[in-house]
Amino acid sequence: MKIFLALITKELIGFFRSWGLVAVVLYSFTLDIYIAGAGIEMQAKNISVGYVDETGGGMSQKILSRLHMPEFQKPVMFNSREALSRSIYNRETMVGIIFESDFEKNLQKYKRAEINLLLDSISATQSFQALQYLQNILLEYADLKYPVKLKIHKLFNPNATTSQFMAMAEMLSVITLLGVILTAAVFVREKENGTWEIMLLTPVNPKLIILAKSFSQVIIVMAGVVMATGIVLFGAFDVPINGSLFAFFLLSFFYAFTSAGIGLFVAAVSKSMLQVAQLSILIMMPLIFLSGAWTPIHAMHPLLQDLSLISPLRYYIEGSESIFFRGTSFVDLWSYFAGVILLGSVLYFYGFRKIGRLF
Amino acid sequence: MNSGVIAAYILKEFKELLRSRMIAIVYILPTMIIILFGYGIRMEVTHARTLIIDNDRSKISQDLTVRFQNSKYFDTKVVTGITLKEALESIKRAKTDILIIIPDRFEKELLKREKPEIAVFVDGAFPVRASTMENYVKGVIFDAASTILKEKPKNLVTINNRNLFNQPMRDEDAIVPGLIGLILLVAPAILSALLIVKEKEEGTIFNFYSSAVSRGEFILAKIVPVFILHSINIFILFLWATWLFEVPFRGSFTLYWLSSELYILTSIGIGLLVSVITRSQIVAIVLTIIITIIPGFLYSGMLMPISSMSGESKIEAHIYPVMYYNHIIYDTFLIGQGLDSPKNRLYLVILLFYALFMLLLGSRLVKKETG
C-alpha cells in the first residue's frame, strides 16, 4: 500500500511539473466546456430576415413587426427581388419574404392572402424551425378562435436551454478524451524514453505499477470533473441537479476507470505518441458519437443503435442526464451503473492484461 | 535552398511516416468520421414515441388520435386507465417522448364551446427535439381543430415557400459538406502537430540544429509528406459525400479541389504552430484536439448559420479559417455560384493568405542559429 501511494505521488508530481499539460487540462475542464456550452446552439435563434415590400406598407409592416428577438433579427429591407435573392445566395440572409403588390388588397377583400417565402434550407433543422416560427406568427395574426386549449409542459429542462445540455455533453467528452490520452501517454512516454526498464528493475510488482499509474490519472480526471461540475456546470450554466450529486461522482469514477482501461489498451499497441494520438481519436470518435450526446439513440440508424450498446459512454451519458435533469432515484440508476461497470471492467482488465504481457 | 537536400529530407520524413504504420490511420480516420457523423447525426424528428391517454373515448377524441397514428412523425400508442404518475414515469425512464392527455367530457365541452384543455408533456432533455416535437403536436391538434372551426378566420396569411439549395431539407445535405470542413481541419493538424515537438522531446532536433539544413528546408520537408498524404483525402471525402450520402454537387470541382488544398495547408500551419510552441507531445496532441474540434463544429455553419450569429461568436467565427472554407464548400455542393460570386473569390483569397500566414508564422518561430 505504501509503495502504491508512493507511485501515485510520483506520477502526480510528474504531472504538475509539466506546466503545459496542467494548463491544457485546466483549460479543457473549464473554458473548453464553457465555450461549447455557450456557443453550440442548435435551436434556431437570431435568424436573419430580409424582405421586399411591393405593397405600400401597412399590413405587411404589421406582420414584420411581429418578427423580433430572440427568434428573428430585425428584418432588413431590400429594394428588389434580385437584391434579396443575391443576399440569400451569399448566405447573408436566411429567410426572404416577398409581399406582392396585391397582398393588401387580397387581405382586405378576401380576408386571406399569400406571402412568398425564399428559404435558405441548407441548415435543414434551423430552416424548418424558422418556417414553424413564421407559421405560428401568422396564425396568431389571423387570430383564429380555436375551440380547444393546449397546455404544453416540457419536462426536465423546461426552458429547453441547449447550453446546459451541451456543456454537460462536452464535459463527458473531455473526460473520455483525457482519461484515454493521459493514461496512454503515461505509459508510452516511459516506453519512448526507455525508463520502463528502470521501473522494472525496482523490486516492485509490475502489476502494482500499472495499477498505480492508471489510478493516478483517474485521480487527475476526477479532480477535473469536480472542478468542471462546480465551476462550469453549476456556476456558469446553472445546471439543475434533480438527483444525487454523489451518484454522479460515483458514476464518473467508474467511467474514468473505463477510459483509463481504453488508455491501457492504446498504450499497449502503440510505440510512439503519434500512434497514441491517432489511435485514441480513432477509438474515441465512435464512442462519443454512439453515445447519444448528439442524437438520441433510438433515432439512429438501426445498426448504429446495436453498436451503441457496447459504448460505455452511452450508459454514462444516459445516467448523468437522468441524475441532472430527470432526477431519477439512486435505485433506478442501477442499469447505467451496471453498464458502465461491466464494460469498464472488461476494458480495464483487457488493457491491463495486454500491457502487462509486454513485460 | 538545395533541392537535393530537400528531396532527401522529404524522403526521410515520408519513410518515417510510413514506418510508423500511421498511413492507414491517415485514411481510416477521415472516412470513419464522415460515415459516423453522416449517419449518426439526425436532427429531424420522426417516429417520436407518443403515448395518448384518451379519457373521453368519444368520436372526436378518436378522430384526433387517428391523426396522430397516421403521421410518420409519431409512433402512437393509445392507452386508457393508466395514471398520470405511471405515464410520467415512462418519460422519466426515457421510454416515451410525448404524452398527450385528452380529458373526459372532451367532446361534450367541445360541443358546448367550453374550450376543453388538452395537456401535453414533452421530454425536454434534447432541447431541439423537444421544440420540434412541440410544434408537431401543435400542428396536428390545431389542424384538427380548424376543421371544426365555426367562424371564418379573418386576416389569414398563408405561406408559399420555396426551399432553396436543400429543397427536401435533408440532414445529409446539411451536415456532410460541413463535415469535410471539420475533418480537413482536424486530421492534418494532428498529424503535423507532432512532427517537430517529437524531435524536441526525443532530442533528434539537434541533428537539424547542427546540420546545414536551413529553416525553410526543414519546414518544407516536414509539411510536404503530410500535405501529399492528406490531399488524397480531398477526393476520398468527395466520393463518400456524393456517392454514399448522395449530396448533390452543383458547383465547380476545381474550386472545391483548390480551396481544399489551401485549407489543408492552413490546417498543417495550425499544427505546425502548436508543434513549435509546445514542449511535449502529449500537450501538443490535446491542445490540437481542443483548438480544432470545437471551433470546427461551432463556426462551420453546420449547426448554426453564420448569419444567425451575433457579438463575440460572430467575431470568433471570422478569426477561424473554418467559416471561409465552409462557405465555399457549401457553395460548391449545394448552391453552385462558383467564382462568379465576389464573396467566394474574396474568401478564396483570404484562405490563401491564411495558409501563408500560418505557415510563415510557424516557420519563423522555429529556433535555429543562423551563421
Q: How is residue A34 written as a grid cell?
A: 464553457
Average pLDDT, integer, range B330-346: 85
With a cut of 0.85, is the ipTM above it? no
User: What is residue B151's predicted lDDT score, i.e. its pLDDT?
Assistant: 61
Touching B: A residues 152-191, CB under 8 Å: 152-158, 160-162, 165, 170, 177-178, 181-182, 185, 189
Cα A202 from Cα A39, distance rounded (Å): 50
Q: Is A17 on the interface with B (CB under 8 A)?
A: no
Cα B223 from Cα B235, distance rounded (Å): 19
Q: Among A45, A47, A63, A91, which would you mutate to test the B interface (most chain B Cβ atoms within 10 Å of its Cβ)? A: A91
Helices and strands (H, E) in chain B, number of each type: 14, 5
Query: What is the pLDDT of chain B when averaged over all its residues?
Result: 83
Cα B276 from Cα B284, distance rounded (Å): 9
B269 vs A36 pLDDT, higher one? B269
Q: Among B93, B143, B186, B289, which would you mutate to test the A interface (most chain A Cβ atoms within 10 Å of its Cβ)? A: B289
Cα B252 from Cα B348, distance rounded (Å): 14
B98-102, strands of its sheet edge to edge? A149-155, B117-123, B98-102, B48-54, B74-79
Question: What's the pLDDT tens digit per position in B282-318?
Answer: 888 888 888 888 788 777 777 777 777 777 777 878 8
Q: Are B225 and B10 in contact (CB under 8 A)?
A: yes
User: What is residue A155's predicted lDDT score, i.e. its pLDDT?
Assistant: 72
Strand partners, A328: none
Cα B219 from Cα A135, distance rounded (Å): 57
Task: Specify the DSSP class assigned to residue A73.
Answer: P
Question: What's the pLDDT tens digit per position in B201-246?
Answer: 878 888 888 877 778 888 888 888 889 989 999 999 999 999 988 8
Contact A274 B304 (CB under 8 A): no
* Cα atoms in the Cβ-side hemisphere of radius 13 Å centred on A310: 9
Determine how many CB atoms are found less than 10 A away from the CB of residue B47: 14
> CB under 8 Å to A36, separation ≥6 — which residues?
A166, A167, A169, A170, B294, B298
Question: For the purposes of burial, counting CB atoms within 10 Å of the CB of A325, is it exposed (0-12), middle (13-18) or buried (19 or more)?
Answer: buried
Peptide bond into A296 cis (omega under 30): no
Cα B172 from Cα B290, distance rounded (Å): 26
For residue B98, give the 3-state DSSP assignment.
Answer: strand
Mind listing the domains of chain B with CATH numbers?
A: 3-41+169-365 (no CATH), 48-147 (3.40.1710.10)
Q: Is A2 on the interface with B (CB under 8 A)?
A: no
CA of A339 vs chain B CAs: smallest distance (Å): 15
The sign of the CA dihedral B280, B281, B286, B289 is: positive
For residue A120, give the 3-state DSSP assignment.
Answer: strand
Cα B279 from Cα B282, distance rounded (Å): 9
Question: What's the pLDDT tens digit per position in B258-291?
Answer: 999 999 999 999 999 998 888 888 888 888 888 8
User: What is residue A160's predicted lDDT score, i.e. its pLDDT?
Assistant: 46
Determine how many CB atoms are found less than 10 A away from the CB of residue B162: 12
Q: For residue A113, which residues of chain B lie inside 8 Å, CB to CB?
A: 156-158
Q: How is residue B333 written as a grid cell?
A: 455542393
Closest-CA residue in chain B for A35? B294
B98-102 and B48-54 strand pairing: parallel
Cα B175 from Cα B91, distance rounded (Å): 29
Which CA distances in Å does B228 have to A240, B262, B265, B269? 49, 12, 10, 14
The sign of the CA dihedral B70, B75, B77, B78 is: negative
Q: Are A59 and A103 in contact (CB under 8 A)?
A: yes
Strand partners, A150: B118
CA of A215 vs chain B CAs: smallest distance (Å): 18
Q: For residue B45, which residues of chain A lie inside 8 Å, CB to CB?
A: 299
Contact A43 B301 (CB under 8 A): no
Cα A212 from Cα B67, distance rounded (Å): 61
Cα B60 from Cα B77, distance rounded (Å): 17
Mind listing the domains of chain A with CATH numbers?
A: 2-40+166-356 (no CATH), 49-142 (3.40.1710.10)
Identify which of B205, B194, B203, B192 has the alpha carbon closest to the alpha carbon of residue A194: B203
Average pLDDT, integer, range A322-351: 84
Q: Is A111 on the interface with B (CB under 8 A)?
A: yes
Q: Are A290 and B35 in contact (CB under 8 A)?
A: no
Closest-CA residue in chain B for A335? B93
Touching B: A residues 71-110, CB under 8 Å: 73, 88-94, 107
User: What is residue B371's predicted lDDT score, i.e. its pLDDT?
Assistant: 42
CA of B371 vs chain A CAs: smallest distance (Å): 31
Closest-CA residue in chain B for A50? B307
Q: Is the pLDDT of residue B23 over 80?
A: no
* Helix or strand run (H / E) with residue B365: helix B342-365
Q: How is residue B358 written as a grid cell?
A: 500560418
Q: Among B72, B107, B156, which would you mutate to test the A interface (most chain A Cβ atoms within 10 Å of its Cβ)? A: B156
Cα A345 from Cα A340, distance rounded (Å): 8
Amino acid at B350: I
Contact A89 B335 (CB under 8 A): yes
Question: What's the pLDDT tens digit per position in A157-215?
Answer: 554 467 787 788 888 888 988 899 899 888 888 887 777 777 777 777 878 888 888 89
Q: How is residue B229 written as a grid cell?
A: 498524404
Q: For residue B302, which residues of chain A lie inside 8 Å, CB to CB?
A: 123
Cα B363 from Cα B351, distance rounded (Å): 18
Q: Is A283 on the interface with B (CB under 8 A)?
A: no
Q: Is the pLDDT of residue A149 over 80?
A: no
B301-338: burial string, b at 16+ Cβ within 10 Å, e else: bbbbbbbbbeeebeebbeebbbbbbbbbbbbbbbbbbb
Contact A295 B28 (CB under 8 A): no
- By percentage, how much of chain A surpasses pLDDT 70? 95
Q: Among A131, A148, A304, which would you mutate to test the B interface (most chain B Cβ atoms within 10 Å of its Cβ)? A: A148
Nearest-CB residue to B22 (from A20, A35, A278): A278
Contact B132 A129 (CB under 8 A): yes
Q: Are A276 and A270 in contact (CB under 8 A)?
A: yes
Q: Determine if residue A143 is left, alpha or beta; phi over 0 gives left, psi from -120 to 50 gives alpha, anything else beta.
A: left
Phi, psi of B311 (to 5 degrees): 60, -135
Q: Among B293, B308, B313, which would you mutate to test the A interface (most chain A Cβ atoms within 10 Å of its Cβ)? A: B308
